[in-house]
Structure formats: structure tokens, C-alpha cells
Chains A and B, each alone.
Chain A
Amino acid sequence: MQLTDKLIVLADAAKYDASCASSGAPKRSSRGQKGLGATNGNGICHSFTPDGRCVALLKILMTNFCLYDCQYCINRRSSNVPRARFSVDEIVRLTLDFYRRNLISGLFLSSGIIRSNDYTMEALVRVARTLRVEHQFRGYIHLKTIPDASPDLIRQAGLYADRLSVNVELPTSQSLNRLAPEKSDTTIRLAMSTIRDGLDEATAEPRAPRFSPGGQSTQMIVGADDTDDHTILGNVQSLYGDYRLKRVYYSAFSPIPESPSSVPLIAPPLLREHRLYQADFLIRGYGFRANELLTGPGNLSLDIDPKLAWALNHRELFPIDLDRADMYMIARVPGIGITSARRIETLRRERRIRYTDLTRLGCSMKKLAPFITTQDYRPRQAGLERQALLAQMQTSTPAQMALL
């Protein structure tokens, strides 16, 4: 099989992994040295495909031969797809050639399970080692970890990779049992704790060997089973707490060819995925708890964002006075982000806040208007009940009907 053909097969097989982050790596430079590549902590999106997702890394599978039969996966053993396998040299060549032309910032390598878990993991580590040691590649490397691989191999992977990830795959262990019978929630979590222990050791002991400096992340597929957002967010919150995760990625389930009847054949729920990312961001960055965003079973509302939904449910806390309120509370106002909240705090040390300052700070005026007061502004809608205000906030642009 030609290299181009392999690339087509194995990039197609890998694209269902949502993560493409190339951030969080330590500062490395190749200036005037043998070898290639640099990282500085910031990610770079080198291109965007028409699905709106960025291309930061060469995201491929080493092989899409797989012994597992996960129902949601295009590469499951019962799936009738063309199969291919890259050699180590082919992956190395592609990575370096693309990197030199500034097409990518590194490699995101994953694989189907062949022969055994350890055999597969070892092959992945070999690619990373060849890049780092033989070619002195200092760009970004993200390795997907095979959950059942031995802890020793995971440690080796951490030596060369900037980020390791193990996918939890589905939001609950019941769904995992049903749709991915060969995988187990227990071993996935064990692998995640092995990585967490490695991270802990590396931070506690400055001279400890390098271990995945960009941390670990995970992914769950949304919409392949019927778990609701309330359960998802609850589980995600505990994942962040238990495993020092940098990120949880949500991947709206895309329909696959010859779809088994156990998974839906519908368009991927993109808006739901978007709302989950927003809620996730509120949990990570704004100190929200999952049960504040969704108080009972159900899904996040699709027509308004989770922060606005929360504020509408807590009319009694608003409007707040921007000259007096805590920064923590200012950041909770819909339309004001963390950066703007900090800037408001700096500015009010110089003088009192005026309504037009917020325009200049780039806040979303329409969203924040009912929730704040300043010395020269009082919301007209202060007395409005939740429902009346909601009706006012919703944009009522008619949507074009679509066939698909």
C-alpha cells in the first residue's frame, strides 16, 4: 500500500478523537542545534478543516487493525473498513516533513489494539522514542495510552510524550459494558491513576525523570448512549478531581458506515457538545459546581448558554453593583468573562465603573444588561420574572430548515 493510501485510511480512522491541543508543553528550542522543533506552552492551530476543527498535530493511528469490537468505533473488528499499518519510519518521516513546512506542531498518535495491549503500547512508545532520541525532535507529542498496558510502559511513554491520554470513552460504566464489552471502567481508571501518580512524582521531585509535562486528558463520546448531561457533568467533575486532568474532551457521536443497531444513526449533536464544553469551562475556570449548572436530571438547555441559564435561575442574586461586588461574583455575570472581571477590578481601583467602560472591555452588553448596576446605570428589567426575561433574551431568528 502506498504511503498516501495509508495516510488516508489512518487519518480517517483517527479523526474521531477530538483533542488536538498542542499546549502545555515546557519551553524547548532547537535554535542553532541539531534536530528540529520547539514548544513554548502555547498551542498553534496550523489549519482548519471545513468542520471547524483545527489541525494542530498530525493525528493518525499507527494501525486500524483492532481486536476489540466497540460498537461506536469505525475501526471495530466487525467493521468493513480498509485496514493499514504504518511503519515507525513512515510516521517519523511524515511528522518531520510536515513539521519543517510548518503544517503541524507535532504528532498525536493512537492505535487499534493488535496482538496484545503491551505489544501495541510498546510500538507507540517506540515511535515517540525514535522521534525524540534519534531525530532530536522537540515538537509536541501526544500519545494515546492503551489502558491495559503495563504501568512500566506507561512510564516510558511519559518520558517522551508531552501529553498522555486515556479515553473514558462513554459517560457511564454501564454504557461501557454495553457498547465496549472488551473494555473495562476499572482498567481505564487504573491507567489514569498510573499517569496521575507519574505526574505527582514529577512535580514533587524536581530531579525526577520527565513525565508528560503537558498533563493528561481524556475523551468521552456524547450521544452514542442515552446518558443525560446531568450525569455527564457529575462524572466529569469527579474525573477532574481524581486524576489531575487538564481537559475532558467531548466528542459528539458521528454516524459510522454499516452502523450497528446499538448506536444511533443521526447527525452528531454538535450544539449539545458545545454546551457541554461551555459547562466544562465554567466548572474548570469559574468555580461552578456541576449541580449548580444542572440541579436535576436532564440536559443543558440548547437555546441559551449555561451561565445565562444559571443567572436566570438565580434572579434573587442580581443585579449586582460592579463597584462593590466580589470578583468571583462579577465573573459569574453572563457576558463578563474572567479577563473582563479582572479588568473591572483593576479599573475600579482608579475610579468608579461606568456603563460604557463595559462596552470598551468587550463585554456582551445584551447578556449582561439585566444583571448589573453601575453608578450611571440601573437595569430596566430588574423586576422582570425569569420567564419574561428569558423570552426577552432569546434570539428569535428563524432557522432555515435542513434536509439532514
Chain B
Amino acid sequence: MTMYTLYMARADFAAWRDNARRLLAARVSPGEVLWQDNDSAGDLFASGDTDLPPPSETPLALKLSRQHLSRLECASHYWPAHHQECRWALLYRVVWRLAQGEGEALLAGDTDGAVVEQRVKAVNHEVHHIHAFLRFHQQPVHPQEQHAPEFVAWFEPRHDVLEAAARHFIDRMGQHRWLIMTPEGTIFCDGRQWHIERPESGVFTFQDYQALSTMENDVEDLWLAYYASTFNPARLNEKTMVRSMPSRFWRHMPERVLITGLISHARHGARRLGQDSRLADRRGHTITLPK
């Protein structure tokens, strides 16, 4: 049996699709292909053929609905942990099974379908996280610097969500110029178009980001005032907070400095009332009805 080894760029679904099409046409079963990308460790005994075989006389072909295709693409944005299966191999096995007529291969109740489903869910969840927890900081930009970003942000996603973030923030930010930096790449938008750049080698670090950004304070202070005040100590429920806003995101959110203080203050009696205790000591006044 020939083994074929395919080298994949980190985020290239189109290339995988191309390869998968040719592998199906040549009737190469999933067991005969070794997919290699940055995520998977090299195969110790790799001696595989990198040239794909010619189409077989009875080629397999598969027409996928747009919905199924976008599911596969979404699953390909999942960065597996070390013990997890390479994404391209999983996807190829799924399309191989579909091409054999096993319609269940993409359903959540199936063994492979369940993994695809779990990955799609994890990717979508991470997309949601970057939409929600990313924080822009305004930069002092000289009016003559027409290309410098006005807003910059740093974010550390677990999966490849750069494109989803780009599409989202270009809708929100109007004509502002902004830059999002992540370890695996940056998104820059000039107010009309976005552009993703991935580092040639290695990753960007938070220090790279700090080198190009300045922290601002005014709006952040207002935000902290709001955050503490909108918190209702009588309803203290830190478990739900941590479940909905995992602590790995706190590091780059301004409100991180308040969270533990608010919790312990509530535990030590502030939860008797719903009111922000900063207001309890201040003079208030009642209102008399006009005659």
C-alpha cells in the first residue's frame, strides 16, 4: 500500500478541498493519507509519496450542500490539542464516508459527526468570545498620520477566528481605522477594507503589541465606575460569571481589577442590599410633590 503525505498550510481550507477532491477521484482511502500541518508532529517514519496518484477508472465524487461545506470549513478552524486528531485527516474521513453513501457521517449522533460538531461548536464559541471580550484602546493619532490605527486591541484566541472577527468589527467600526493583534496574526482595517497578516515564522507576542500601543485612562475609568455600579451585590453569583466569562480572558479586560474586590466586599456584608455601597454613605434626598 502506498502512503501519501500531504503538507498543509496552517489555514488553507481551499487547498484541503482541492486535495480531497483529487484523493476521492483516485479512490485513496483515509488510511493511506498522512496529513501534515504545523499542528501535528512530524511522522518519524515518514517516507510517503507527496505526488498524488492519477484518477481511478471509477472515481469517487461528492457534491456537498453549501451548509455542509461551511460546517466542514468551520471545523477546519479548530486547533486540536496535541492528543487530538489532525483536522484535515478528520475532515477527509468524513467526506470519504459521505462519498461511500454513509449519510450519517456528518450528523451529531455519529462518532465522526460528533467530533465535527464539537469542533464547530468550539470554533463558534471562540468567535463569540472575540466578538464579546475583545477591548479596543484608542490611540493618540496625529491628524497627518492617515494610516495609523485609531483603535488597537490584543486578543489570544484558541482557534482560528481572525476572519470572523474581521467581518464583525468592520461592520461595527464604520470609518475608523483599527488593528487587532493576536499571536497568530493581525487584522488591520483602514476604514474600508480589512487585511489579515500572519507572521512568516513564529508568533506575535503581547510585548510586540505593547510596543505599538498606548494605554488610555479616561474612558476606562468611566467603564470601571459603571461596572462596579451595575453589579448587584445582593445577587452575588460568581460561579455563573466565571462560567460565562472564562478567566483566561480577564487578563486583557479593564474590569479585571475590580472583580475580586467586588466579590469579597459582597461576601463581607455588602450583599445585604442591592445598592452599590459607595452610594450608601452619600447624602441623598427625598422628593416632595409639587402642590
Mark A residues whose CB is within 8 Å of B.
3-4, 7-9, 11-12, 14-16, 29-38, 40, 44-55, 58-59, 65-67, 74, 77-83, 94, 97-103, 139, 252, 254-257, 267-268, 270, 343-344, 346-347, 350-351, 353, 357, 360-361, 404
Contacts and interface: CB of A to CB of B under 8 A. Distances in A.
Given A46-B132, A254-B235, A360 B114 contact: yes
Given A12-B279, A48-B244, A98-B223, 7 more contacts: A11-B230, A31-B174, A59-B230, A67-B289, A257-B275, A343-B107, A404-B271
B274 to A, nearest CB: 3
B136 interface: yes
Interface stretch (B32-40, B43-51, B165-173): B165-173
B135 A102 contact: yes
**Among B103, B136, B173, B176, residue most surrounded by chain A Cβ atoms (within 10 Å):** B173
B107 A347 contact: yes
Given A11-B230, A256-B274, A30 B241 contact: no
Q: Nearest 6 CB-CB pairs, A to B? A: A52-B240, A254-B274, A52-B237, A38-B171, A30-B174, A49-B231
Contact of A49 (B138, B169, B230, B239): B230
A101 B151 contact: yes
Contacts of A346: 107
A66 to B, nearest CB: 7
Contacts of B191: 32
Nearest to A5: B225
Contacts of A344: 109
Given A50-B237, A254-B274, A347 B135 contact: no
A9 B279 contact: yes
Nearest to A115: B290
Given A51-B235, A67-B289, A36 B229 contact: no
6 contacts: A8-B228, A47-B227, A50-B259, A74-B274, A350-B104, A404-B272
B226 A58 contact: yes
B132 A103 contact: no
Nearest to A254: B274
Given A32-B191, A255-B273, A7 B229 contact: yes
Contacts of B263: 50
Given A8-B278, A36-B172, A360 B111 contact: yes
A52 B226 contact: no
A101 B172 contact: no
A74 to B, nearest CB: 6
Contacts of A83: 284-285, 287
A49 B172 contact: no
A38 B236 contact: no
Given A11-B229, A52-B239, A256-B273, A47 B153 contact: no
Nearest to B241: A48
Contacts of B272: 255, 404
A12 B244 contact: no
Contact of A52 (B107, B230, B241): B241
A7 B234 contact: no
Contacts, number: 224
A254 B222 contact: no
A37 B174 contact: yes
A351 B111 CA distance: 14
Which has the most chain B C-beta neighbours within 10 Å: A48, A54, A81?
A48
A55 B114 contact: no
B174 A33 contact: yes
Task: Find the residue from A12, A15, A36, A80 having the highest chain B CB count within 10 A.
Answer: A12
A49 B223 CA distance: 12
B253 interface: yes
A321 to B, nearest CB: 16
B232 interface: yes
B99 to A, nearest CB: 16
B232 A51 contact: yes
Interface in B165-202: 168-176, 191-192
A128 B232 CA distance: 27
Contacts of A252: 235
Contacts of A51: 231-233, 235-237, 241
Contacts of B133: 46-47
Given A98-B223, A360-B111, A50 B245 contact: no
Contacts of B69: none
Contacts of B244: 45, 48, 52, 54
A16 B274 contact: yes
B179 to A, nearest CB: 13
B134 A102 contact: yes
B61 interface: no
B225 A8 contact: yes
A139 B173 CA distance: 10
B203 interface: no
B276 interface: yes
A35 B191 CA distance: 11
B245 to A, nearest CB: 4
Contacts of A343: 107-109
Contacts of A30: 171-175
Contacts of A79: 284, 286
Contacts of B137: 101
A351 B287 CA distance: 70
Interface string B100-142: 0001100111110010000000000000100111111110000
Choose among B132, B173, B278 the residue with the greatest number of A CB atoms under 10 Å from its CB. Answer: B132
